[in-house]
Amino acid sequence: MKRIKFIATGSNSAIGSFSYGDVARCDDALADHLVNDARVAEYIVEAKTEESPKKPVRKGK
């Protein structure tokens, strides 16, 4: 499953109507079609976040 963000307004028989800025999660084939063939969307690349080291817990005196 891929996440895409629409850069145009329109409709598709598989997902219905969409507008600029809408986000959808769809299978790889449909995402590829909407991004590369129809050129109405772009892939959302999710940044991997690194966990910051936790601060040590301070104990009372």
Q: Please state the rounded mean pLDDT for residues 18-47.
A: 96
Of 44, 47, 39, 50, nearest to 12 by C-alpha is 39
- Residue 61 pLDDT level (bands cut at 50, 70, 90): low
- Distance of alpha carbon 34 from the chain centroid: 13
Please report, for residues 4, 52, 53, the alpha-carbon distance to residue 49 in angstroms, rounded to integers and kept in the order given: 20, 9, 12
pLDDT, tens only, 8-18: 999 999 999 99
Backbone φ and ψ of 37, nearest 5°: -85, -55
Confidence (pTM): 0.74
